[in-house]
A and B are shown apart, each in its own frame.
Chain A
Amino acid sequence: DTGVSQDPRHKITKRGQNVTFRCDPISEHNRLYWYRQTLGQGPEFLTYFQNEAQLEKSRLLSDRFSAERPKGSFSTLEIQRTEQGDSAMYLCASSFLNCPDNNEQFFGPGTRLTVL
Chain B
Amino acid sequence: ELKVEQNPLFLSMQEGKNYTIYCDYSTTSDRLYWYRQDPGKSLESLFVLLSNGAVKQEGRLMASLDTKARLSTLHITAAVHDLSATYFCAVDISETSGSRLTFGEGTQLTVNP
Which residues of A pack against B, CB within 8 Å?
31, 33, 40-45, 48, 50, 55-56, 58, 91, 93, 95, 97, 100-110
Contacts and interface: CB of A to CB of B under 8 A. Distances in A.
Given A41-B105, A42-B106, A43-B103, A100 B97 contact: yes
B101 A45 contact: yes
Given A106-B45, A110-B42, A45 B102 contact: yes
Contact of A103 (B43, B92, B104, B106): B92
B101 A105 contact: yes
The B contact surface, by secondary structure, is loop
12 contacts: A40-B106, A41-B105, A41-B106, A42-B4, A102-B31, A103-B31, A103-B33, A103-B92, A103-B99, A103-B101, A104-B48, A109-B41
Contact of B43 (A31, A45, A95, A107): A107
Interface of B: 4, 31, 33, 35, 41-45, 48, 50, 88, 90, 92, 94, 96-106
A109 B50 CA distance: 26
Contact of B33 (A58, A91, A100, A104): A104
B97 A91 contact: no
A102 B50 contact: yes
A100 B97 CA distance: 6
A103 B88 CA distance: 16
- Which of A33, A95, A103 has most B Cβ within 10 Å? A103
Nearest to A47: B100
